[in-house]
Amino acid sequence: MQADILDPLGPAIVARGDTFRIRAYGEALTDKGAVAASAWCEALVQRVPTYMDPSEAADVAPPKKPANVRFGRRYEWVSLRWLNSPLE
């Protein structure tokens, strides 16, 4: 049966590969508080199935290791780019 094959694989194939777009802004101020420079960047990060502490299998739920309880799944950088403006 199809279910007999997929049931043991279920925890390993659960969709945990979410991708997030994070935009950030920063500025440098002069001694008088005026903006001397500003920068925008955009990062794409992806949540992957493995835990922060990889000694625990990804199919263990809920996690038992303290680092995995606190931080959960691992994130990986996909890309980082500098933007000319926040509207880019």
Query: Domain total for the chain?
Result: 1
Is the full-model pTM beyond 0.85? no
- Residue 52: inside a domain: yes
Residue at 68 is within a domain = yes
DSSP SS3 for 19: strand
Tell me if 17 is assigned to some domain: yes
pLDDT by residue for the chain (88 residues), tens only, comes to 777 777 776 666 655 568 999 999 999 999 999 999 999 999 999 988 889 999 999 888 889 999 999 999 999 999 999 999 877 7
| Any domain includes 88 | no
CA nearest to 18, candidates 84, 88, 74: 74
Cα–Cα nearest to 12, from 58, 72, 68? 58
Answer yes or no: is 66 within a domain: yes
Do the domain assignments include residue 16? yes
What domain range is 8 assigned to?
2-83
